[in-house]
Amino acid sequence: MLIREALQKATKELGTEYRLEAELLLADVVSRNRAGLLAHDDEELTTEQEHQYWALVERRRQHEPLQYILGTTNFMGMDLVVTPDVLIPRFDTEKLVEHSLKLLADYERPLVVDVCTGSGAIAVSLAKYKPQAEVWASDLSEEALQVAAKNNELQQTKVQFKHGDLLTAFGEEFYGKFDAIISNPPYITTAEVQGLPEDVLQEPMMALWGGEDGLYFYREIVEQAVDYLQTGGFLAFEIGFSQGEAVQKLLLDNGYEEVTLLQDWQGLDRVVSGKKKK
């Protein structure tokens, strides 16, 4: 079977909207980039390559996320490892990283922590683009921390990891130490979980579900941050598109100032940050 024929068949099975994914899966099988695949679409696949390809197409047809099948995703210009043990980093989260880097611009050697690190995408990005920062990360999942450590190694960054629940993973020796606490916590509500697409439901539920109203982890982190954040340090969150007002209020009610709400590239509320009063 020719490459072009395989792509036509896979697109018919998956649906025309999945043509790009069909191309990426086949590019992975033949060890080429997408451009190279399309430039040589008159080449014949080996029997082994055909078997491999249809196995991958079937996995995608069963709603397994493309990123899990390929084992990687791109985030902040980096190719990161992802497995079913971690949430797949989204493009929207880059807004949180970019905003945090701006807030850190005037810090010479800031001490920063990424809470609920998952794949390590945020922590590794901060360490890569602010190399003078001392970056820590925590997660309750040991399996997620293994993935994060792998990404740290692959990107040659120097993130340090703690296993445990939110900020309590760090203990009293970190009280008043962090210049920045950054997090993309689970924020999907109980009602929203029921309506998630099938491929999203294959991601770890502990990285998705944020309690009945989706705000459980924001409350916990804001409460704990009082002990761990330096005076004048900042707290920055990714939020669900409907949570801007609630998370802003949470920060204001707990004495934060310069509370800011930012939108993503679709114009949806995505990031909330605030400074601990001096």
Nearest in space to 253 (alpha carbons), one of 228, 229, 222, 227: 222
Looking up tokens 């390590």 gives 120
Q: Collect all residues with Cβ–Cβ distance below 8 Å to 257 and sequence separation of at least 6.
A: 274, 275, 277
Could you list the beta-strand ranges (E) of the chain.
72-75, 78-81, 111-115, 134-139, 160-163, 178-183, 229-238, 256-263, 269-276
Task: Say how far apart CA 118 and CA 83 lie, in whole Å.
Answer: 10
- Side-chain half-sphere of 256: how many Cα atoms within 13 Å? 25
Task: Say how far apart CA 157 and CA 126 lie, in whole Å.
Answer: 9
Task: Say how far apart CA 122 and CA 183 lie, in whole Å.
Answer: 8
User: What is the Cα 263 distance to its own chain's centre?
Assistant: 17
Work out the average pLDDT over 259-276: 96
CB atoms within 10 A of CB 146: 16
pLDDT of residue 54: 97
Average pLDDT along the chain: 96
Domains in the chain, start-ordered, CATH in brackets?
Answer: 3-62 (1.10.8.10), 72-276 (3.40.50.150)
Indicate if the pLDDT at residue 26 is higher than 80. Answer: yes
Question: Is this model's pTM higher than 0.85 or not?
Answer: yes
Indicate if the pLDDT at residue 76 is higher than 90. Answer: yes
Task: Say how far apart CA 80 and CA 71 lie, in whole Å.
Answer: 8
Task: Say how far apart CA 35 and CA 142 lie, in whole Å.
Answer: 37
Q: Collect all residues with Cβ–Cβ distance below 8 Å to 97 and sequence separation of at least 6.
A: 76, 122, 125, 126, 129
Task: Say how far apart CA 42 and CA 37 lie, in whole Å.
Answer: 9
Indicate if the pLDDT at residue 270 is higher than 90. Answer: yes
What is the H or E stretch that residue 121 is in?
helix 121-129
pLDDT in tens, 38-74: 999 999 999 999 999 999 999 999 999 999 999 999 9
pLDDT in tens, 207-241: 999 999 999 999 999 999 999 999 999 999 999 99
Task: Say how far apart CA 160 and CA 123 lie, in whole Å.
Answer: 9
More confident residue, 10 or 194: 10
Task: Say how far apart CA 3 and CA 44 lie, in whole Å.
Answer: 6
